[in-house]
Amino acid sequence: MAPFYILLSLLLLHTTPWCFSAAVDEDTLMAGQALAVGDKLVSRNGKFALGFFQPAASSSISKLSRNATSSRSSWYLGIWFNKIPVLTTMWIANREEPITHPNLNLAQLKISKDGNLAIVVNHGSNTQSIVWSTHIVSNRTHNSLNITSAAVLLNSGNLVLKESPSSDLSVWQSFDNPTDVWLAGAKFGRNKVTGFSRYGISKKSLIDPGLGSYSIELEGTRGIVLKHRNPSIEYWLYTSSTAASLVPLVNSLLSLDPRTKGLYNLVYVNNDQEEYYMYTSHDESSSMFVSLDISGQIKLNLWSQANQSWQTIYAQPDDPCDPPAACGPFAVCRGKPHPSCDCMESFSKKSPHDWEFEDRIGGCIRNTPLHCTTSKNITSSTDIFHPIAQVTLPYNPQSIAVATTQSKCEEACLGSCSCTAYSYKNNRCSVWNGELLSVNLDDGIDNTSKDVLYLRLAAKDFLANLRKKKRKPNVGVVTAASIIVVVLLMLMLLLLIWRNKCKWCALLPIYSDNQGSAGGIVAFRYTDLVRATKKFSEKLGGGGFGSVYKGVLSDSKTTIAVKRLDGAHQGEKQFRAEVSTVGLIQHINLVKLIGFCCEGDHRLLVYEHMLNGSLDSHLFKKRNAAASAAVLNWNTRYQIALGVAKGLSYLHQSCHKCIIHCDIKPENILLDASFVPKVADFGLAAFVGRDFSRILTSFRGTTGYLAPEWLSGVAVKPKIDVYGFGMVLLEIISGRRNSSPETSHYTNSSSNVDQHVGYFPVQTISKLHSGDVKSLVDPQLHGDFSLEEAERVCKVACWCIQDNEFDRPTMGEVVRVLEGLQEIDVPPMPRLLAALTEQSGAATLM
């Protein structure tokens, strides 16, 4: 298929996709005149054209595919950008009634005798049919209207029907009847008096501009609503109560992009007469439009002269799999970073031709029908279920209360010939009848957000799949199995050696009498930890998971740090299992876990104590008058950054199961006697459960380190740690908090505009782009630092704090860059970050 798409792209970009004569190049159609196929109206500024056309993809495909005969004969009347080589229609009159008459010369646009602008097809013998009309209700006489009326294509791309060419009064305009596009100057909204609404419906496909699957409308007091039309599913709502915050956010995004800065402005009007959104343009030479895409996303599209293509600079919803039924029935949608649709196991595309042009409404169909019969109220079936893991469950499930086990849930689905799938989780049985819609693949790390869907298949298909797997060469299987066995034996041997080396743990005086330890980790009594910490009197710090206290073991005089967990409610067996898992993690840049306590409601962890405390006490010395920590020199800072990166890379990529820290900040980076950094509090999410809503609340004081996607409630992924690490890097460079005074730019505080203007990450990226890195480095270093390393750290930090998680590096990539093994360019300014800091009303986004 690749050569096909390459050829299609070349045809779209480098050929003219329509064949018009230049017979008419004026902007006005007078009563009594006609616009025929091959003619066009052109706005006075030359930017827009009106005429008959075929969809660009259709006219190109007609040269490549014989299957597009129905599309080749379909013609429409529309408005497009006149000077852009890629045919891009902004408005279509007859989108549901294409002209398919064999003699296209008989089709015309004219002002009819009843005063309407209409598409008329003459059939001979003085008979004609009206394909499309404006349907104006007028009290004027037909005769007078027929003499003076005129249709004018304005410079804005708006087609208006006027009482006369010189009149300012329009009786009809295309801006009031949008299809799927809004240009500058076009209102999106409603008239409160008449109830008239300017709504949009997406196209059906790239070659069919008919009514598609999605709609957008400003609904009364509810706000902007995006819907899937059939079945009717509401999937995005921007309420009227928060409308005021949408305008500054969009305007900030436009002002931050150099291609749109100073050119466009969004306004929101809400009065007694009407409510609408509209954006204005200050440069007629620039080409931009807002569209409701085939995918169901609202997109802001800008023409790139350099690339000779349209660029999407903003999309909502951000994930293309969020709109319902994005891939049609019995298909699976895979979102970012590479959106794609695939048929489920043993299903095939219903219409491959339609899929090529992004029309997936037909989805997929079964390769083999289900074998299910019903006789005398007894259902018999030989079907088998195929599990699809890590997915969001389909739309519109039905709950089966009596199915208390998974086997009973499966039986309940087999007991109905219309049942196509089931899911069983947390003692809840759900079944689906008929088509399966909105099944999205979730590749995230956090397994609690994933489900398993059991898809019903014919036994014939299921057995055929098994045979395919069995036909695979046995040599590879045997080789892989041998390697696994050898690796397991080596791991067991290393584990035995490690455990023998750690027998000193048993010599510690404080341990449980009969409960034993967890994976070689000491199990402490609660009373002994109370005594060691002097009743938790000396607090070292605290975070989202609990507080840390200093202690001393009575016999060995070993200094320890005791973490008292908040919100950990697992049973003893589960807690010990988690402790055992965390205790096995060993890395030079990770704080070592010595032991634990699990008695009653008490859940505590015991760590080795770090002599030089936490990184914040050294970086922010000026803000802590009581601190006696020395100023860190540049080499120490750089090694700390590299060490923390290695520690996080180990947690993300080298552990048996990826561990996400979730709270990267200087307070959780400890320094030993040689200033070697050690990441603390890793793995603690497992102890308080995977419901991060409670932790988010407790993190509000340090949300300057939290990635933007955290606040939107999406699944927790490793790139959250990458964002936090980037914020920490900026503080290592500057020796001060990113935000001053130390309040988060996300918190709903009484911060003023000046506070946001001084936000250090924005300054960093600006200075990096202007080549002024020196001014960013901590003045306490007195210029004693490596400029090359400082620039490298700044680039990495800005790379890490990008808005979109897929634009951020992995921690492995960060390590390679900091070690000088990989080069990177200057990253762009994160739009959302700058917008939030520049707008005093950013708190309304919460």
How do residues 121-153 score in pLDDT, each as one tens digit?
887 777 888 999 998 855 444 444 445 789 999
φ, ψ of residue 741 in degrees (nearest 5): -65, 165
Catalytic position from the list 208, 663, 721, 778: 663
Out of 177, 205, 234, a domain closes at 177
Asked whether residue 669 falls in the same domain as residue 622, the answer is: yes
Q: Is residue 204 part of a domain?
A: no
Asked whether residue 484 falls in the same domain as residue 628, the answer is: no
Alpha-carbon Rg for the chain in angstroms: 33
Asked whether residue 683 falls in the same domain as residue 815, the answer is: yes
The pLDDT, as a whole number, for residue 761 is 82
We report the CATH number of the domain holding residue 115 as: 2.90.10.10
111 token code pair = 């002002």
Indicate the length of the chain as a whole number: 846
Asked whether residue 496 falls in the same domain as residue 393, the answer is: no
C-alpha to C-alpha distance for 353 and 341, rounded to whole angstroms:
14
In the chain, which residues have pLDDT < 70? Answer: 1-25, 56-72, 137-147, 243-245, 336-339, 376, 443-450, 462-482, 495-520, 543-545, 556, 567-571, 621-629, 684-703, 711-715, 739-758, 831-846
Nearest Cα to Cα of residue 446 among 713, 652, 660, 719: 660
Out of 159, 177, 195, a domain closes at 177
Asked whether residue 397 falls in the same domain as residue 482, the answer is: no
The pLDDT, as a whole number, for residue 190 is 93
Q: Is residue 219 part of a domain?
A: no
Q: Is residue 534 part of a domain?
A: no
DSSP symbols for 664-684? -SGGGEEE-TT--EEE-STTT
Asked whether residue 51 falls in the same domain as residue 165, the answer is: yes
Nearest Cα to Cα of residue 667 among 761, 564, 546: 546
Q: Which amino acid, 399?
A: S
Asked whether residue 462 falls in the same domain as residue 491, the answer is: no
We report the CATH number of the domain holding residue 749 as: 1.10.510.10
The pLDDT, as a whole number, for residue 835 is 58
Q: Is residue 268 part of a domain?
A: no
The pLDDT, as a whole number, for residue 203 is 95
Asked whether residue 365 falls in the same domain as residue 490, the answer is: no
Number of domains in the chain: 4
Q: Is residue 590 part of a domain?
A: no
Place of tokens 């003219």: 16
The pLDDT, as a whole number, for residue 553 is 84
Helices (H), 239-372: 243-256, 352-356
Q: Give the full edge-to-edge strand order of the sheet including 264-270.
A: 188-191, 274-281, 264-270
Q: Is residue 218 part of a domain?
A: no
Asked whether residue 412 falls in the same domain as residue 494, the answer is: no
For 604, 689, 825, the CA distances from 684, given in Å and listed in that order, are 11, 9, 35
Tens digits of per-residue pLDDT, 75-100? 999 999 999 988 999 999 999 999 98
The DSSP bridge pattern shows strands 428-433 and 398-399 to be antiparallel
Q: Is residue 263 part of a domain?
A: no
19 token code pair = 């064949």
DSSP symbols for 698-756? HGGGGGGGS-HHHHTTPPP-THHHHHHHHHHHHHHHHSS-SSSSS--SSS-----HHHH
C-alpha to C-alpha distance for 458 and 427, rounded to whole angstroms:
27
Q: Describe the chain by its helix, strand, coil percentages, rounded to 5.
A: 30, 25, 40
Nearest-5° Cα angle at 633, 629 to 634:
140
Asked whether residue 29 falls in the same domain as residue 107, the answer is: yes
The pLDDT, as a whole number, for residue 76 is 94
Asked whether residue 397 falls in the same domain as residue 433, the answer is: yes
Asked whether residue 781 falls in the same domain as residue 817, the answer is: yes
Strands (E) in 231-285, as ranges, are 233-239, 264-270, 274-281
Paired residues of 365 in beta bridges: 348
Q: Is residue 401 part of a domain?
A: yes
Q: Is 39 a catalytic residue?
A: no
516 token code pair = 């034993």
Question: Does 563 count as an annotated binding residue?
Answer: yes
Torsion of Cα atoms, 650 then 656 then 657 then 658, to 10°: 20
Residue 717 belongs to what domain range?
A: 614-846
Out of 145, 177, 209, a domain closes at 177
